[in-house]
């Protein structure tokens, strides 16, 4: 007789029919919409350029810390032209609390040069243009597009990647692969808000080291929750 062993979360995700996976993903989105009706970008900004800069600074740093740094930063360097011509020591000192400040300063000066030289000083509003800027990847581009330009996008940061895998919506670690899979599951008009809702949930409930599964509003939809059902697999 063939032995039967429980599937892992990854195995369960791989064996879930596409229609069922889509329904579950959209159910997750609906529940999170009720739980976090005010979900939004937690970076403070007043222009696409400010959001672009803040998003670059948020790598390996909390939004709270970035928001503490950016007022003085934008007072000193209010636009791409000013940032491109920034004194490096001054710039690094202003952003030092965000960590990795030398690499971030290099990115900020580089992307500002690119905006000035290739886009007449205006942050471009297309993904294919944004990702050509130095230091800007798809995650950063989607944050800017979704929040500053109203162009829907899935933002795959550490929270989104972790929750998508825990929920059993993907088995991938690569952010680009996760983004494309989620784009196929969630309605396009919901991409940006879905990203905010999942990120809110990752920060407030489904934490990296100690997820609060017992109080989780989407536990019934989660492949990793205690008691979650997995199909037996035949050896």
Residue 105 CA neighbour count, 13 Å, CB half: 18
Q: Is 139 a catalytic residue?
A: yes
Catalytic residue among 114, 139, 180, 207: 139
> What does each C-alpha distance from 151 to 73, 98, 209 come to in angstroms?
27, 28, 33
Number of residues assigned to the chain? 235
Catalytic residue among 11, 89, 114, 157: 157
DSSP at 33: H
Tally Cβ neighbours within 10 Å of residue 75: 9
What is the C-alpha separation between 201 and 185, in angstroms, rounded?
19
Can you give 122-169 as a three-state secondary structure string? CCCCCHHHHCCCCCCCHHHHHHHHHHHHCCCCCCCCHHHHHHHHHHCC
Q: Is 87 a catalytic residue?
A: no
The residues annotated as belonging to the active site are 139, 157
């Amino acid at each position: 007789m063939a032995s039967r062993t429980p599937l892992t979360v990854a195995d369960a995700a791989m064996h879930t029919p596409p229609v069922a996976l889509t329904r579950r993903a959209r159910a997750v989105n609906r529940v999170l919409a009720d739980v976090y009706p005010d979900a939004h970008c937690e970076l403070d900004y007043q222009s696409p350029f400010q959001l672009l800069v803040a998003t670059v600074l948020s790598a390996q740093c909390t939004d709270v810390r970035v928001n503490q740094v950016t007022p003085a930063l934008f007072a000193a360097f209010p636009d791409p032209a000013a940032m491109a011509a920034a004194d490096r020591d001054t710039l690094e000192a202003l952003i030092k609390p965000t960590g990795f400040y030398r690499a971030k300063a290099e990115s900020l000066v580089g992307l500002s040069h690119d905006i000035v030289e290739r886009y007449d000083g205006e942050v471009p509003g297309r993904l294919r243009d944004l990702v050509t800027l130095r230091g800007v990847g798809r995650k950063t581009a989607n944050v800017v597009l979704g929040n500053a330009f109203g162009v829907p996008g899935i933002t795959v940061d550490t929270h989104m990647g972790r929750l998508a895998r825990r929920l059993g919506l993907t088995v991938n670690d690569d952010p680009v692969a996760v983004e494309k899979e989620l784009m196929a599951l969630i309605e396009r008009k919901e991409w940006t808000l879905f990203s905010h809702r999942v990120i809110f949930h990752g920060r407030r409930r489904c934490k990296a080291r100690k997820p609060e599964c017992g109080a989780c509003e989407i536990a019934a939809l989660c492949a990793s929750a205690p008691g979650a059902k997995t199909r037996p697999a035949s050896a």
